[in-house]
Amino acid sequence: MTVSPPPAPAPPTAPGSVLTARHPLVDGHTADAPLLAAYRGRRPAHRPVWFMRQAGRSLPEYREVRRGIGMLESCLMPDLAAEITLQPVRRHGVDAAILFSDIVVPLKLAGVDVQIVAGTGPVVASPIRTAADVAALPPLDPDALAPVAAEAAAVVAELGSTPLIGFAGAPFTLASYLVEGGPSKDHRRTKTLMHAAPDVWHALAAWVADVTGSFLRAQVLAGASAVQVFDSWAGGLSRPDYQRFVAGHSAAVFAAVADLDVPRVHFGVGTGELLTAMRDVGADVVGIDHRVPLDVASERLGGAVPIQGNIDPALLFAGRDALHAHTLDVIRRGASAPGHVLNLGHGVPPDTDPDVLTELVEFIHAQPSA
């Protein structure tokens, strides 16, 4: 698998736009995509659907091309990562691709010694827990983002009218990895740092937000038509702690792409009590996990915010009848919002039968549009 050369010089930007004239939102390729219509609060001709972790271990073609290649290594090989990003679009007919990456890739690009350990997840060699540790963090070299931009550009060149969604982890989740040194069930060290040394926490979270914002912006400039920020661990926070220690840093990430005029989606796991706070940091769309019914979530959001979700991933194993009935209930509840994109309430489990996902997309597309 070869590495793509840097993209050719971009044409001048379109009048009044930061995006180049060949960006799919500017040249018209994705301007009328059902996904973007729903993200902007409209009801498109058919119901858009994509799946978190749709590119991954559930696909045999993914396992084949990844054989013998490490996760972070594969994320930074533009040709390989682009192929992986495109695989679920070809197989399932979903309404969006999402950039194949990992939540810790921007940390790696900034020079943090982080590895993904099989059976564990991301592991940071030297956790960040003091002011000196934060001060030693290097700035992100913009040139380090070249593989990410090359991947996004390669994907967009193949997608046509299907949008690419840019991907990034939220500052709380990424900063927590840095503090804990790896996955954590209770985020004890992170919460301790927040309350015992708030200046250190805010300096760390600000560094992460800056790196993440640059990472996300590079994807949009290379062709992504929307972005989604994942806060995998925010559900472990109280609302006061989220607002005091996290919201401002997440807002900085969303602000990094605000001038690019792409829909911005915010998703968290177990964040039913934080929905309005997650909206208020700058999200245009709020992703809902499977723990909160969509009509309840929409009511909490004042009925004015497009939503995404929230089929329970466990129902992918329950048989067609149960899955279809559950999906129709999700569709019915999603009608309470001004726009609704079907998705899972979390990622595709690795042992999912891909034929179930393909059939589910066909079933969703066959439902009458509201």
Would you name the residues annotated as active-site residues?
Answer: 53, 57, 66, 102, 177
Q: And the tokens for 56?
A: 């991954």
Best CA proximity match to 150, nearest among 10, 266, 47, 43: 10
Which residues, in sequence order, are bridge partners of residue 123? 115
Which residues, in sequence order, are bridge partners of residue 344? 311
Q: Is 164 helix (H, G, I), strand (E, B) or coil?
A: strand
Angle between helix 78-92 and helix 146-159 axes, rounded to 10 deg? 30
How deeply is 139 buried, as exposed, middle or buried, from its count of CB atoms within 10 A (0-12, 13-18, 19+)? exposed
| DSSP H/E element including 158 | helix 146-159
Rg of the chain over Cα atoms, rounded to whole angstroms, equals 19
Q: Is 226 helix (H, G, I), strand (E, B) or coil?
A: strand
Single-letter amino acid, residue 178 = L
Is residue 93 within 8 Å of residue 355, measured between CB atoms? no
d(CA 61, CA 24): 27
Is residue 131 within 8 Å of residue 203, measured between CB atoms? yes
Helices H, strands E: what count in the chain?
16, 9
